[in-house]
Amino acid sequence: MTRDLTITDVTLTPILVADPPLLNTAGIHQPYTPRLIVEVFTADGTTGLGETYGDTKYLELARPLAEQLVGRQISDLNGLFGAADEVAVDASRVTGQVDVGGLRGVQTADKLRLSVVSAFEVACLDALGKALGLPVHALLGGKVRDAVEYSAYLFYKRSGENDTWGAALDPAGIVEQARTFTERYGFTSFKLKGGVFPPDEEVAAVKALAAAFPGHPLRLDPNGAWSVETSLKVAEELRDVLEYLEDPATGVPAMAEVAAKSGVPLATNMCVTTFDEIKDAFTQGAVQVVLSDHHYWGGLRNTQQLAAICRAFGVGVSMHSNTHLGISLAAMTQVAATVPNLHHACDSHYPWQSEDVLTERLTFDGGKVAVSDAPGLGVALDREKLAFLHQRWLDDDGTYKDRDDAAAMRLTDPQWTTPAVPRW
């Protein structure tokens, strides 16, 4: 029997998800953060799920794109990307500058479009997999591993309303947080979000982690907050314990200078965030590991293409994360399972998210997520949970509909503005 996999409907459900008060160089996470859940429906009753950023600028693009999908085949992914190119981006949404608040590199119209179309691509692949009885990894060429390793994503943090973790504001607090991550999820590598306190304090925290977890891979990521000089000092202090230093300084020339003078491997999710940025950064030796993110690189197939380019240049590849739910973790795991040259544990914020829209949460065992062989992404939507989180979004007066870490910081520090870089 031939199935009719024509898209008949696409629904977009913006939600607000509880988020603990995690600190970064831009400020602090708000108690609720926006995400967008995408569902595609086909003529034969198959459905597919995707998830991406839920701030207004993404919703504005998602709505016209959703309309263009109706009548297309779920397998027409190239057509989907063509349709996305046609969606106009409001110029006022594009700064062309480093997106300091979002901490994920320069903001461009293409990147906004890709961050939206990626959720549709994932939803179409989920639906196609379900229709064919195949996991998404099989649609991407097949898995090369049965489980994907993630790292514990440590944050300096305050205690807050959506939070069972408590504060962590010094080396002892960070080590305690790392122990909790290890006990609960079995993680064996650790990344500390830096750029929060003066570099000496963050160096002390990484040294405390090295003493508590000897031989374990450690990373420090200040989101480009340091000068070249400061980056070199930190690299010198931590060279023996770091797996890599992530985005110590802002921009390719600064990263290239730090890499050349320190010899410590540098990773990025800020200076290489699009295919156009690769040539310059790779030829200057600015980065040794690219942290892919299927949301803003434009989906799972683009993530595979990025990994292939990295392989050709002898550059490592792993995965960046921003606040996300289980649909995205499932998508990350499916694509990561197909990338042969993925040699570093991926980042994930998922343990920080106490809420989800799935019937069953994904789990970490020994720091790894098992690669599902169930059709599609292998996850199911809980409509009651989705409705609850959507109602929160509807009830919000606009305070949380757009992520604003600096605004959240101003509640306790009225003079706070997003710091200019280099901050130290």
Residue 122 burial by CB count (10 A; 0-12/13-18/19+): exposed, middle or buried? buried
| Nearest to 195, CA basis, from 259, 267, 98, 103 | 103
Q: Report the alpha-carbon distance of residue 402 to residue 359 in Å, rounded.
A: 26
What mask, x for binding Mg ion by CB under 5 A, covers residues 328 to 357?
------------------------------
Q: How many residues bind ligand GKR (CB under 6 A)?
A: 12
Of 130, 216, 320, 324, the active-site residue reads 320
Query: To the nearest whole angstrom, how small is the minimum distance from the Cβ of residue 320 to Mg ion?
Result: 6
CA 160 to chain centre: 23
What mask, x for binding Mg ion by CB under 5 A, covers residues 246 to 265?
x-------------------
Q: What residue spans of 107-157 are helical by DSSP H? A: 109-132, 136-139
273: contact with ligand GKR by CB under 6 A: no
98: contact with ligand GKR by CB under 6 A: no
Query: To the nearest whole angstrom, how small is the minimum distance from the Cβ of residue 194 to Mg ion?
Result: 10
Find tokens 């499932």 and name the residue: 330
The reply to whether omega before 248 is within 30° of 0 (cis) is no
221: contact with ligand GKR by CB under 6 A: yes
Q: Report the alpha-carbon distance of residue 150 to residue 283 in Å, rounded.
A: 29
Q: Which of 269, 273, 328, 353 binds Mg ion (CB under 5 A)?
A: 269
Residue 321 contact, options ligand GKR, Mg ion, none, Cβ 5-8 Å cut-off depending on partner type:
ligand GKR
Query: To the nearest whole angstrom, how small is the minimum distance from the Cβ of residue 408 to ligand GKR?
Result: 11
Q: Report the alpha-carbon distance of residue 252 to residue 258 in Å, rounded.
A: 10
Query: To the nearest whole angstrom, how small is the minimum distance from the Cβ of residue 22 to ligand GKR?
Result: 5
What mask, x for binding ligand GKR by CB under 6 A, covers residues 9 to 38?
-------------x-x--------------
| Nearest to 386, CA basis, from 361, 362, 363, 356 | 356
Closer residue to ligand GKR (CB): 47 or 151? 151
Residue 115 contact, options ligand GKR, Mg ion, none, Cβ 5-8 Å cut-off depending on partner type:
none
User: How far are the Cα atoms of 282, 317, 326, 334 from residue 379, in angstroms, in the given order?
Assistant: 37, 26, 8, 12
CB count, 10 Å around CB of 419?
15
Query: To the nearest whole angstrom, how small is the minimum distance from the Cβ of residue 77 to Mg ion?
Result: 28
Q: Which of 55, 121, 221, 243 binds Mg ion (CB under 5 A)?
A: 221
Find tokens 């991406």 and name the residue: 52
Closer residue to ligand GKR (CB): 169 or 380? 169
User: Residue 33 region, left (φ>0) first, then alpha (ψ -120 to 50), else beta?
Assistant: beta
Footprint on this chain of Mg ion (rule: CB under 5 A): 221, 246, 269
Footprint on this chain of ligand GKR (rule: CB under 6 A): 22, 24, 103-104, 193, 221, 223, 269, 320-323
Which residues carry out catalysis?
A: 193, 320
